[in-house]
A and B are shown apart, each in its own frame.
Chain A
Amino acid sequence: MNVVRLWRPGLARRERTAAELFGHADRLRRAGRHAEAAALVARGLEQDPVSVTGHLLAAYLHVARRTTEPARQEFQWVLDREASHPRALLGLARIALEEGDVDGGRAALVRALHAYPDFPEAQALLDGLATPRAAPPPGRPRLDRLRLPPAARALVVLAGDGSVVAAQPESASEEGLRLARSANLAAAALQRAGLGPLRRVIVAATDALHILRADATLALAVRLPPATPLTQGLLEINRLWAAAQHELAIARNDVVEAAAPADARRLS
């Protein structure tokens, strides 16, 4: 039997260049193999500590592994050398948004789009930060009269522009603002997926069930215990929604009635 030798003995294995390591690391990153990719990037940066590609990959991998501060430093390192690097700007924008710095995130996205106008990811995120232009409700609806359902731990009423109208307890305001921002991002994602405007949100967390209902002028959100059956949660939000619509109708009638005597005087 003939045996074919498929290797040559005695050849020393060539050490991979930094570029090769980064290339391999990027392939692993794209496959979701972040830990293996990070090890290769670290080796590559030992060989070439000033590689923009290496530092950008390092930044991506930190973000992918949810380690924010090192990611920020790596993106900043890239921007210190290439002030308009669009991917580094996008990365810093996303970190700013995570930290609640909407203005900082928006500014970085605008810079990225200025440098590279055909950048769908940056444009999508910018769309998700746009403040909805909602028509104000008629008159002054007493949405503060909405009562916290017995089973609920918090209730937040948001105007169509995302501002907090009422919160019970008052400390839930911050939660409401955060929810409004998440809802805006979700609305942008739904639009990108061709699914239409946002109507309801359900977020299940280990210690709470958050349910939100929205239209163009109003959003209501409740925080319920985590074991709340979904159907009960939806019933609660629908009941609150009906009560809110009732308050809006009262306010609308008040506006009409206030205008009526003035109209009568003008006609007489």
Chain B
Amino acid sequence: MSRLRLGLEMDGSSRGRQVRDVVQALAHAAAVRGALLVAADGFAIAADVPPAVAVEPLAALAATLGRDLEVGAGRLGHGAFQTAMFSADDGTLFLAASRIGFVVALAEPQGSVQAIRGALEEAVTAIDSSWAPLASAGSAT
């Protein structure tokens, strides 16, 4: 019942497929309803979320929230933000920083926090490792 929307469809590389697989695997982890990989500019690189959830507004909010946590930690002299969890009556939103953006998971309210955080951290590690060789390539505009 989930909807898959991928910027990565235009990228035939194995690296692109790997990141897509990571997001899909996270979206189908126990007690997880959906997942997104959002660039810091708010573009949803990969998303696998329930049909009722509009991807673009959620991605814009997730990227802004992620940057707010990153920049806020630095400005207040605190260490780098790693993961965040925002819980509500009907579910929980998890957010983690990765090399190419923010990984978001939408989870059931009764899901195991430790298990979902573990799945999120695994996803970040997989994305970071698949992106590492090329993240430093190319020149800035």
Q: Does B135 contact A (CB under 8 A)?
A: yes
Selected from A29, A58, A202, A206, the residue in CB contact (under 8 A) with B79 is: A206
The stretch that binds B, out of A4-12, A131-139, A193-201, is A193-201
Q: What's the Cα separation between A176 and B97 when bound, in Å?
A: 22
Q: What's the Cα separation between A44 and B113 when bound, in Å?
A: 46
Given contacts A33-B134, A63-B41, A205-B79, contact A121 B69 (CB under 8 A): no
In the complex, are the beta carbons of B56 and A36 less than 8 A apart? no
Q: Does A60 contact B (CB under 8 A)?
A: yes
Encoded as 1 (CB less than 8 Å from any B CB) or 0, chain A from 193 to 233 comes to: 11111111111111110000000000000000010001000
Given contacts A32-B131, A60-B43, A98-B68, contact A125 B60 (CB under 8 A): yes
In the complex, are the beta carbons of B78 and A205 less than 8 A apart? yes
Q: What's the Cα separation between A64 and B69 when bound, in Å?
A: 15
A148 to chain B, nearest CB (A): 17
Q: Does A45 contact B (CB under 8 A)?
A: yes
In the complex, are the beta carbons of B93 and A193 less than 8 A apart? yes
In the complex, are the beta carbons of B93 and A45 less than 8 A apart? no
Encoded as 1 (CB less than 8 Å from any A CB) or 0, chain B from 48 to 77 comes to: 011011101111111111011111110110
Given contacts A38-B139, A124-B57, contact A186 B45 (CB under 8 A): no
In the complex, are the beta carbons of B64 and A94 less than 8 A apart? yes
Q: Does A261 contact B (CB under 8 A)?
A: no
In the complex, are the beta carbons of A60 and B68 less than 8 A apart? no
* Number of chain B residues close to chain A: CB under 8 A: 67
Q: Does A239 contact B (CB under 8 A)?
A: no
Given contacts A39-B139, A42-B139, A123-B57, contact A199 B40 (CB under 8 A): no
B29 to chain A, nearest CB (A): 16
> Which of chain A's residues have a CB closer than 8 A to the CB of B135?
34-35
Q: What's the Cα separation between A189 and B42 when bound, in Å?
A: 13
B72 to chain A, nearest CB (A): 5
Given contacts A33-B134, A201-B86, contact A98 B11 (CB under 8 A): no
B66 to chain A, nearest CB (A): 10
Q: Does B124 contact A (CB under 8 A)?
A: no
A80 to chain B, nearest CB (A): 17
Selected from A29, A99, A182, A185, the residue in CB contact (under 8 A) with B43 is: A29
Q: Name A175-197 residues within 8 Å CB distance of B.
A: 175, 178, 181-182, 185-190, 192-197
Given contacts A120-B57, A128-B64, contact A182 B69 (CB under 8 A): yes
Q: Does B14 contact A (CB under 8 A)?
A: no
Q: What's the Cα separation between A74 and B41 when bound, in Å?
A: 13
In the complex, are the beta carbons of A189 and B40 less than 8 A apart? no
Q: Does A67 contact B (CB under 8 A)?
A: yes
> Which of chain B's residues have a CB closer than 8 A to the CB of A265?
none
A241 to chain B, nearest CB (A): 14
Q: Does A27 contact B (CB under 8 A)?
A: yes
Measured CB to CB, the nearest residue on chain A to B70 is A66
Given A35-B138, A64-B40, output 10 extra A-B contacts at Cβ < 8 Å.
A32-B7, A42-B141, A64-B101, A97-B67, A120-B54, A121-B42, A121-B59, A181-B68, A192-B61, A196-B91
- List 10 tightest A-B contacts by C-beta distance, closest first: A206-B79, A207-B79, A30-B7, A35-B138, A124-B57, A31-B11, A121-B60, A195-B91, A39-B138, A196-B89
Q: Which residues of A contact B (CB under 8 A)?
A: 27-39, 41-42, 45, 57-58, 60-67, 70, 74, 90-91, 94, 97-100, 120-125, 128, 174-175, 178, 181-182, 185-190, 192-208, 226, 230
User: Can you name 24 A-B pairs with beta carbons within 8 Å?
Assistant: A27-B10, A30-B10, A32-B8, A32-B131, A33-B134, A35-B137, A37-B138, A39-B138, A60-B41, A64-B40, A64-B101, A66-B70, A124-B57, A124-B60, A128-B64, A189-B58, A193-B49, A193-B53, A193-B93, A194-B91, A200-B87, A203-B69, A204-B83, A226-B79
